[in-house]
Amino acid sequence: MDVTVRDIDGIKRYLMNEGINPSYQRIKIFEYLANHRIHPTVDTIYNDLCREIPTLSKTTIYNTLNLFEQKEIITSLSIEKNELRYECDTRPHAHFKCTVCGTVYDIRHEFPLVTKSVIDGHKVTEQQLYLKGICKNCSRDS
Ligand SMILES: [Zn+2]
Ligand SMILES: [Zn+2]
């Protein structure tokens, strides 16, 4: 997506362009992803938005994220088996997860990702690269 789309009106137009009915909750969930580049889980989004939107449920968030993912305006990361995370930056990039603090960082400058859309006749629709280790903040503390 165009990462500069962060205001409510821009998001509303963006969702409509993608054929998504821009309900208030959908706009707020997308806005959250656009402004919180932390690869949040459903729980994180729920905990941060439920005070502002008391009618919001985890099911709504889950369904909304599924819809966004089907429309290919967000991607999900499954670095851990039981922890799905989401982001609205759909450009291919790698991820680094800190095993100490749990932060997931975007890695863009190292680019070991595949640039071809067809490999050996196979059509590539998704690629994920996950790195794990100790992040620079955590190594500094020790
Ligand atoms: Zn860390
Ligand atoms: Zn990312």
Please provide the average confidence, as pLDDT, over all residues in the chain. 90
Question: What are the domain boundaries of the chain?
Answer: 8-87, 94-141
Tokens at residue 139, please?
Answer: 């190594």
Q: Rounded CA gap, 60 and 49, in Å?
A: 12
User: Of 2-6, 78-82, 122-126, 127-131, where does mean pLDDT reach its minimum?
Assistant: 2-6
1 pLDDT exceeds 60?
no
Q: How far, in Å, CA of 128 to CA of 6, rounded? A: 25
C-alpha 31 – ligand 2 centre gap (Å): 16
Selection from 137, 131, 128 nearest residue 97 by Cα? 131
- Measure 131 CA to ligand 1 centroid, in angstroms: 13
Residue 139 CA to ligand 1 center (angstroms) comes to: 7
What is the tens place of the pLDDT at every residue in 23-68?
Answer: 999 999 999 999 999 999 999 999 999 999 999 999 999 999 999 9
Where is average pLDDT lowest: 73-82, 102-111, 128-137?
Answer: 102-111
Which residues are placed with Cβ below 5 angstroms of ligand 1, an ion? 98, 100-101, 135, 138
pLDDT for residue 112: 65
Residue 24: C-alpha distances to residues 52, 53, 99, 106 (Å): 12, 10, 36, 29
Name the class of domain 8-87.
mainly alpha
Helices (H) and strands (E) in the chain, counts: 5, 7
DSSP state letter for 124: P
